[in-house]
Amino acid sequence: MENTIRLENIVKHFPGVCANDHISLTIKKGEVHALLGENGAGKTTLMNVLYGLLCPDFGQIFLNGEAVEIRSPKEAIEHGIGMVHQHFMLIPVFTVTENVVLGEDMPREPLLDIQQAEQRVKEISHTYGLDVDPKSKVWHLSVGAQQRVEIIKALYRNAKILILDEPTAVLTPSEVDILFKVLRKLVEEGLTVIFISHKLQEVMEICDRVTVLRNGRVVDTVETSETNQSELARMMVGREVFLQFDKEKMTAGEKVLEVKGVSALSDRGVAALQNISLDVHCGEIVGIAGVDGNGQCELVDAIMGLRKIDRGSILIKGKKIKENNTREIIQRGVSCIPFDRHAEGLVKSFSLSEVLMLKEWNNLPFTRHYLFDFNAIRSFSEGMVREYDIRAPGIEVKTGNLSGGNQQKVVLARELSRKPDLIIAGQPTRGLDVGATEYVRQRLLAERARGAGILLISTELEEILSISDRLLVIYEGQIMGEMFTANADLHDIGLMMAGVKRQPDGQIKEMPV
């Protein structure tokens, strides 16, 4: 009776990869159980199987000792299993209550009984400390509050087991604290929580037991009280990880990028960048830390000439850029690893060689007398495949058919092979496994050693701390502070990311010798 969920020998194949390889796992009633593993370890796949989104090739699920078959999320909910996805499934223009009751049968069909539903939403939020106004529109809410709405949605449907997929990825440190309070309350009330994460510190803080997955297999299940972070890290990657990179000492050279008091609007017409100033010198990596959606995308667009600047100016190698002239900016020696490689970096229906020439398609050696020189294109592509270790059956294969890590290597090869003076790197390791992540970071450090200036924009603080020389924190389109990474204070950065604290005048402390 104590075992709420037992998974036995779950197997799930995808083309070319076995995402879940005979996974067996027991989750006890009333515990917070972590599923820990790097990207691609099979955590989300396993939970999608449990939630009925995926059908396992093999294996069985037992709920309270009884074998069950879960074929859809609807059936999962009937069994009392609720899931909060990484990307929220909310309708922004609806109120909290409207979102909660969406798809539910109402007592007075076909009429909506919003009042009654509102009452229940209030009760639930009161019981579990899920602070949210049932009447407010979802788009008014902060990301943390939207997540609470998702939790309420599951509780409204009488979920007894709650699956949270990377719940802290989008939250600020203070929002994480609130979430953890809620989770403790849920467990107190007898619920079971499955917490998917790859963040060791959080797992240690909130979870009772942890199951570590690696390459689709269970490494072990341990009590958090009987382990520590470094042991978990070793289990997760199968070897010791070196978070700190050896950086050559560099003396920063001349300025390659100057952003002076830039303000710009977002696509929706609200202020996205407000009086932003920053510099990047040759031979240094400048990190921009911040929670997703605080103007990072707009900043990159502005530098690349893809967004209108309302005030201020941007200088590349001392020369002011004009908007709508991305071509010239690129030709001036700027490379960009875009945030979203599918929407901005790749053309999925294009072959590997076609994508590799995307930034220089019009130039020698690819184009000669208005015609493509296919010999030059082929030899360049083959060279890139070798140099960047792109695992593909040939240069004619469509990039949409490559794995995420290889797709990113294609983008990296294209951008870095141009020997740029300035590299704008937006989330360069998003969705990559540890090996590929390390590769990308090493490559960026190599570019730094070559003398390129790099602007690294990432929501992973760990990434910024491990490779950048200097960092700035962005919050709601404003720079909250600037510091050398060597004397960065994590607590301060956290407060700045949450918009709580601002450095006076953005003064930068002296670099320690």
Partner 1 sequence: MAQKNGEALTDLMQSERFLHRFERIFSVAVPVLAVIAGLLTAGVLIAIVGASPLEAYKALFQGAFGSPYETATSLNRAIPLILAGLGVTVAFRCGLWNIGGEGQIYIGGMFASAVGIYLVGLPLWIHLPLALLGGFVGGALYGGFAGYLKAKHGINEIITTIMMNYIAIYLVGIMVKGPMQEPPGYFPQSPQIQPGAILPIIWEETRLHGGLILALALALLFYVVLWKTPFGYEIRTIGSNIGAARHAGMKVARVQITAMLISGGLAGLAGASEILGAQYRLRDFFLPNYGYDSIAVALLGQLNPIGVVISGILFGALRAGAGTMQRTIMLPSSMVFVVQGTVILFVVGTAILANLPKYLAKRREAAHGN
Give the interface with partner 1 as residue ranges (CB under 8 A).
13-18, 57, 215, 238, 304-306, 325-331, 336, 338, 340, 343-350, 354, 358-359, 361-362, 366-367, 370-372, 374, 391-394, 396-398, 401-403
Smallest gap from residue 330 Cβ to partner 1 (A) = 5
Instruction: Report which DSSP code applies to 74.
Output: H
Q: How far, in Å, CA of 261 to CA of 269, rounded?
A: 19
Tokens, residue 281: 């010198």
What long-range pairs does 231-237 form, CB within 8 A, spacing at least 24? Answer: 232/36, 232/200, 232/203, 232/204, 233/200, 235/36, 236/36, 236/37, 236/38, 236/41, 236/198, 236/200, 236/212, 237/38, 237/434
Tally of CB atoms within 10 A around 82 = 23
* Residue 74: burial class (beta carbons within 10 Å; 0-12, 13-18, 19+): exposed
User: Please, which residue, 71 or 327, has the CB nearer to partner 1?
Assistant: 327
Let me know: does 281 contact 445? Beta carbons within 8 Å.
no
User: Please, which residue, 196 or 352, has the CB nearer to partner 1?
Assistant: 352
Smallest gap from residue 68 Cβ to partner 1 (A) = 24
Let me know: does 149 contact 92? Beta carbons within 8 Å.
no
Tally of CB atoms within 10 A around 242 = 9
User: Please, which residue, 124 or 410, has the CB nearer to partner 1?
Assistant: 410
Phi-psi bin for 454: left (phi > 0), alpha (psi -120 to 50), beta? Answer: beta
Smallest gap from residue 141 Cβ to partner 1 (A) = 28
User: Please, which residue, 366 or 484, has the CB nearer to partner 1?
Assistant: 366
Smallest gap from residue 313 Cβ to partner 1 (A) = 20
Give the CA angle between residues 243, 18, 193 to the nearest 5°. 65
User: Please, which residue, 21 or 75, has the CB nearer to partner 1?
Assistant: 21
**CA 315 to centroid of chain Cα atoms:** 30
Smallest gap from residue 251 Cβ to partner 1 (A) = 32
Smallest gap from residue 312 Cβ to partner 1 (A) = 22
User: Please, which residue, 1 or 343, has the CB nearer to partner 1?
Assistant: 343
Smallest gap from residue 102 Cβ to partner 1 (A) = 29
Smallest gap from residue 301 Cβ to partner 1 (A) = 9
Residue with tokens 């010239």: 328
Smallest gap from residue 323 Cβ to partner 1 (A) = 12
User: Please, which residue, 57 or 489, has the CB nearer to partner 1?
Assistant: 57
Smallest gap from residue 281 Cβ to partner 1 (A) = 24
Tokens, residue 271: 């202020």
3-state secondary structure 156-216: HCCCCEEEEECCCCCCCHHHHHHHHHHHHHHHHCCCEEEEEECCHHHHHHHCCEEEEEECC
Beta strands in 215-270 (DSSP E): 217-223, 255-265
Tokens, residue 392: 């593909």
3-state secondary structure of 451: coil
User: Please, which residue, 436 or 497, has the CB nearer to partner 1?
Assistant: 436
User: Please, which residue, 393 or 512, has the CB nearer to partner 1?
Assistant: 393
Smallest gap from residue 358 Cβ to partner 1 (A) = 5
User: Please, which residue, 74 or 368, has the CB nearer to partner 1?
Assistant: 368
3-state secondary structure of 318: coil
**CA 118 to centroid of chain Cα atoms:** 33
User: Please, which residue, 216 or 290, has the CB nearer to partner 1?
Assistant: 216
